[in-house]
Amino acid sequence: MITETLTAEEIAQHYKAAMDSVNLINGSKPEYMTDADWADCLSRNKEHLNIMLAKDYWTTENLKPLQDAAK
């Protein structure tokens, strides 16, 4: 496994992007989106969270919201 070396700012950007996925997953389906599109959107965002949770650069970030939403 290759360890990524990121700045604190880069880690914060990744965390923010992951939290965007958490908020989307925990939100409700937009009116314009079909049920199939919504299911696909949720699946892609959960996969994103699982990828992010596997990263080794996290420091003091609270990963519980990511873990809960990725289920």
For residue 52, what are the CA distances in angstroms to 7, 18, 48, 63, 65?
A: 16, 7, 6, 10, 12
Q: How confident is the model at residue 5 (pLDDT cuts 50, 70, 90)?
A: confident
Is residue 20 within 8 Å of residue 66, measured between CB atoms? no
Query: In the predicted model, what is the mean pLDDT of residues 8-32?
Result: 97
Q: How confident is the model at residue 3 (pLDDT cuts 50, 70, 90)?
A: low
Q: Alpha carbon 36 to chain centroid distance?
A: 20
In this prediction, residue 1 carries a pLDDT of 54
Radius of gyration from C-alpha coordinates of the chain: 13
Q: What would the pLDDT profile of 29-68 be if each residue is shown by its tens digit?
A: 999 999 999 999 999 999 999 999 999 999 999 999 999 9
pTM, rounded to two decimals? 0.88
> Residue 34 is encoded by which pair of tokens?
């079909």
